[in-house]
Structure 1
Amino acid sequence: MLRRLLVVLLTIVTILAAGWLALRRGDIPYDTLEMAYALPDSQFMTLDDGLKVHYTDTGPRDRSIVVLVHGYSASLHTWNDWRETLDDDFRVITLDLPGHGLSRAEGAERATIERFAEVVAQATDRLEAERFTIAGNSMGGNTAWMFALTYPERVDGLALVDASGWPKTTEEDESSPLIFKLLGNPVARAVLKDLDMSSLVRSGLEDSYTDQSFVTDELVERYVALSRGPGHRETLLGIMATERTPVTAEKLSAIQVPTLVMWGRDDNLVPVAHAQLFTDAIEGAEQVIYDGVGHLPQEEVAAQSAEDMRAFLGRVEWEAMSVEEIEPAGDPRLLEDRPEASGN
């Protein structure tokens, strides 16, 4: 009887092992990923510490600058619609964070918000972008407000798009998408690290959008492929394994620049209630809530959210420039935003 039980157990283990091996997926070389996912405006830089960063830098050089930072497991592609709208009037910089998109990975131990803010600082230094508005979505929003606190002298404005950072309530945590619950478990992370994550990625994206037509096979394929860049899975799992320091109202009160809080009312990942927490904590912050929209308003309502951002950047630019500089310039694009900014 015991012998038969051992045979059955061995058979089950063998089947599970075979299934695990069948689902294993190796890394995809960067050359292959770049052929598929580099944009016409893609560029690369190597920072002083050796990190190779993928970025875009478009728009007029005589206007103010906005830096756009993507969220967890995403890439600079999430800002394509915004960039195409905003770079008519502003200099727009987007970049892939380490271990995301086409930027190279670092060790999992470096996958922290503080490090991401440092990379933004180093990359913009190389691009001679001394001061700018920084905007971020989700984890990129966490990076954005961390950057504003760490490098206040470099920030003209701040935009938080469904930004993370506040601790979740028990109820909010229980309603998190399945993929985040699994990645929050160390045993599950170890098992899933090398497996085909397509179904889980699709599920996570379905939770991110209210309009499910955005969740195409091409989108899922891009997320999965870019997560398989060398070292990227270690970075993504390292982020989930690292305890982040939660934000507090006291900490955010140090931010003294114009701030825009943008949120999808139906966000399943970072509840819309967190929008009000940011708005209340940052003096003078404005808030825009998009009905019927999920975690990625920059994609789901690209035209409306880009226009809201364009108007905000115009106000930031107006406030950042002196009257002496504006009057002789006579730039009609600045004058378009003047009534909104001045209240006349």
Structure 2
Amino acid sequence: MPTRRRRSEAPRRRWPLYALFATGALAGVVLWAYAPSLPAETLIARYTNDRSRFIDVGGVRAHVRDQGNPDGVPVLLIHGSNGSLQVWEGWARELAQSSRVISVDLPGHGLTGTWPRDEYTVEAYADFIEVLIDNLHLDKVVLVGHSLGGAVAWSFAATRPDRVIQLVLVDAAGYPRQDDEVPLMTRLARTPVLGDIGIYFKPESMVRRSLRDAYADPAQATPDRIRRMAELQRFPGNREATLQRARTQEPLDPTPLRRMDVPTLILWGGKDRWVPAADAFRFQNDIKGAKLEIFGNLGHNPMEEDPKATAATAAAFIAGAPLPPQPAEPTPPPEPEPAGADHAVQPSVMPEKD
């Protein structure tokens, strides 16, 4: 009787093992990439200096630097998206001799963090700037804005022209982009679930790529700048505010620019990869009497790439601004009248002699 051939054993199912391995690898990547918020006290100690102070602005503890000539024209500097007041350090040094230079971290940025209003649109930031100016007891300021801060600056000037002496726009946002021109990170942030999870990944690599694109010279994306921007994004509440801003900011309407009558300087980097130089000419055409200066070898952050040259252009423009009113001198008390003086009332206007 022939020997029966044994049935070959069924192959083991290995997919559970593969699934377990894949899950473990994914968990490892998530744990490696996950970056919780950093302690506020640590970042405040690291990124403040002797000119920093915190003041209440609309219920938020805002990080402000107020420096320079206290009797000079007040110049308020507004940074861009995911930036901080440190981007203006070069300009602060250059302008401090003649101007009073004020810089601030917007809500959801830098060391300011979130605010009770919980809105991070251009319109909300314009309201924030008005309260800041009031709290600093200023009547008018020269308003300087970069990128998103530029949109805040011109929106403020368009709605509150009586509070603005002059306007300086540095590679400012203002004109709607086509869908294919919206940055990848903004599109990802607007994607449900993916955006909610993605904000908690380590930002260093994204910041490095972003800053290399922001400068005409990638070497300007120094380790210190990358570290500062990445760490300040991890200030408590900042990433959640960034996500909300990406999802709630409506396209800007540039129509009010045509009605503005504020002395304006437009300053632009000719190699800006984010906001094309064509927009600089659109601003010049829309704002009556606007002056335009393009720095052909600079990128989106010209005030950082060449602070001396760009600040010199701004300083020359600001030099034509009127000085803020000085406090009135106290009126001395009247001297006592000599005895026997004539107290006859004289007419307020003496008649002319024939």
Q: In structure 2, what is the equivalent of residue 340 of structure 1?
A: none
Q: State which drifts further: 180-189 or 23-32.
A: 180-189
- The 3-state SS of whatever aligns with 2:259 is coil
Conserved? CA contact 2:59–2:115, under 8 Å: no
- Does 2:303 correspond to 1:298? yes
Q: 1:241-287, CA deviations, whole angstroms, 9 ceiling, x for partnerless residues?
A: 12323222x32112111001111011111111111111111100011
Q: 1:139-166, CA deviations, whole angstroms, 9 ceiling, x for partnerless residues?
A: 0001101111222210111111000121
Task: Give 1:182 shift.
Answer: 3.4
Aligned mates of 2:259, 2:300 — CA distance in 1: 26
- Does 2:21 correspond to 1:15? no
- Does 2:229 correspond to 1:229? no
- Does 2:207 correspond to 1:197? no
Q: State which drifts further: 52-61 or 103-112.
A: 103-112
- The 3-state SS of whatever aligns with 2:98 is coil
Aligned mates of 2:105, 2:253 — CA distance in 1: 23
Aligned mates of 2:12, 2:290 — CA distance in 1: 69
Q: In structure 2, what is the equivalent of residue 263 of structure 1?
A: 268
- The 3-state SS of whatever aligns with 1:124 is helix
Q: In structure 2, what is the equivalent of residue 240 of structure 1?
A: 246
Code of the residue aligned with 1:201 in structure 2: it is V
- Does 2:59 correspond to 1:50? yes
Equivalent of residue 256 in structure 2, options 226, 251, 256 = 251
Give ranges in structure 1 of 5+ residues lacking alignment: 322-344
Classify 1:263/1:196 alpha carbon distance in 2 versus 1 (closer, same or farther; 3 Å): same
Classify 1:234/1:143 alpha carbon distance in 2 versus 1 (closer, same or farther; 3 Å): same
Q: CA RMSD, aligned part only?
A: 2.0
Aligned mates of 1:236, 1:285 — CA distance in 2: 32
Q: In structure 1, what is the equivalent of residue 130 of structure 2?
A: 121
Equivalent of residue 26 in structure 1, options 21, 36, 43 = 36
Aligned mates of 1:299, 1:148 — CA distance in 2: 24
Aligned mates of 1:129, 1:108 — CA distance in 2: 23
Aligned mates of 1:133, 1:166 — CA distance in 2: 23
1:105-120 alignment, distance < 5 Å: 105-106=114-115, 109-120=118-129
- The 3-state SS of whatever aligns with 1:136 is strand
Q: 1:293-323, CA deviations, whole angstroms, 9 ceiling, x for partnerless residues?
A: 11001011111100000011012338x99xx
- Does 2:280 correspond to 1:275? yes
Code of the residue aligned with 1:260 in structure 2: it is L
Q: State which drifts further: 213-222 or 17-26.
A: 17-26
Code of the residue aligned with 2:243 in structure 1: it is L
Classify 1:205/1:188 alpha carbon distance in 2 versus 1 (closer, same or farther; 3 Å): farther
**How many pairs align?**
315
Equivalent of residue 78 in structure 2, options 61, 69, 75 = 69
Equivalent of residue 150 in structure 2, options 129, 138, 141 = 141
Equivalent of residue 315 in structure 1, options 310, 316, 320 = 320
Classify 1:285/1:50 alpha carbon distance in 2 versus 1 (closer, same or farther; 3 Å): same
Aligned mates of 1:77, 1:84 — CA distance in 2: 12
Structure with bigger helix share is 1
Conserved? CA contact 2:105–2:111, under 8 Å: yes
Structure whose CA Rg is larger: 2
Q: In structure 2, what is the equivalent of residue 150 of structure 1?
A: 159
Share of identical aligned residues, percent? 34
Aligned mates of 2:140, 2:192 — CA distance in 1: 40
Classify 1:188/1:209 alpha carbon distance in 2 versus 1 (closer, same or farther; 3 Å): farther
Conserved? CA contact 1:141–1:162, under 8 Å: yes
Aligned mates of 2:163, 2:35 — CA distance in 1: 42
**TM-score scaled to structure 2, two decimals?**
0.84
Aligned mates of 2:197, 2:148 — CA distance in 1: 24
- The 3-state SS of whatever aligns with 1:287 is strand
- The 3-state SS of whatever aligns with 2:62 is strand
Q: In structure 2, what is the equivalent of residue 104 of structure 1?
A: 113
Code of the residue aligned with 2:29 in structure 1: it is G
Q: State which drifts further: 10-19 or 110-119.
A: 10-19
Give ranges in structure 2 of 5+ residues lacking alignment: 1-10, 326-354
Q: State which drifts further: 108-117 or 95-104.
A: 108-117
Classify 1:224/1:3 alpha carbon distance in 2 versus 1 (closer, same or farther; 3 Å): same
Code of the residue aligned with 1:273 in structure 2: it is A
